[in-house]
């Protein structure tokens, strides 16, 4: 019984480490994207506009947001799954009750 519990603990610890890593790296990518956009926007009025840096920064921000949200979903996946199934069950019960 103790070995199974240790494996479960290791699995949970590994999942939390992965999800926190996703969240932290997502925030870092988000900050990098913001700096890219600021640098690209500051040089738009100069002789050498860096539109590519500006557009790349926008896509980097979008990627950072997705990475952070993905980490949060991965962290709370079991709770969200239970909540979604519960909501679907209540909806199915309401439809069935309405038919009768």
Predicted pLDDT of residue 91: 87
Contacts (Cβ under 8 Å, ≥6 apart) of 48: none
Predicted pLDDT of residue 47: 56
Predicted pLDDT of residue 36: 85
Residue 96: exposure state from Cβ atoms within 10 A (0-12, 13-18, ≥19): exposed
- pLDDT above 90 for 28: yes
Domains in the chain: boundaries: 2-75
d(CA 92, CA 97): 9
Q: Are 57 and 35 in contact (CB under 8 A)?
A: yes
Instruction: List, for residues 39-88, the tens digit of each pLDDT value.
Output: 877 666 665 657 778 888 889 999 999 998 988 888 888 888 888 888 88
pTM of the full predicted structure? 0.63
* CA distance to 13, 55, 89, 99, per residue, from 28 (Å): 22, 18, 39, 52
Torsion angle of C-alpha atoms 88, 90, 92, 97, degrees rounded to 10 = -170
Instruction: List, for residues 85-100, the tens digit of each pLDDT value.
Output: 888 888 888 888 888 7
- pLDDT above 60 for 2: no
């Amino acid at each position: 019984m103790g070995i199974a519990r240790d494996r479960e603990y290791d699995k949970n610890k590994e999942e939390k480490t992965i999800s926190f890593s996703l969240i932290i790296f997502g925030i870092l990518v988000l900050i990098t994207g913001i700096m890219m956009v600021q640098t690209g926007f500051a040089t738009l009025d100069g002789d050498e506009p860096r539109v590519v840096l500006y557009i790349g920064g926008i896509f980097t921000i979008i990627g950072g947001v997705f990475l952070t949200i993905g980490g949060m979903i991965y962290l709370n996946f079991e709770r969200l799954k239970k909540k979604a199934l519960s909501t679907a069950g209540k909806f199915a019960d309401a439809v069935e009750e309405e038919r009768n």
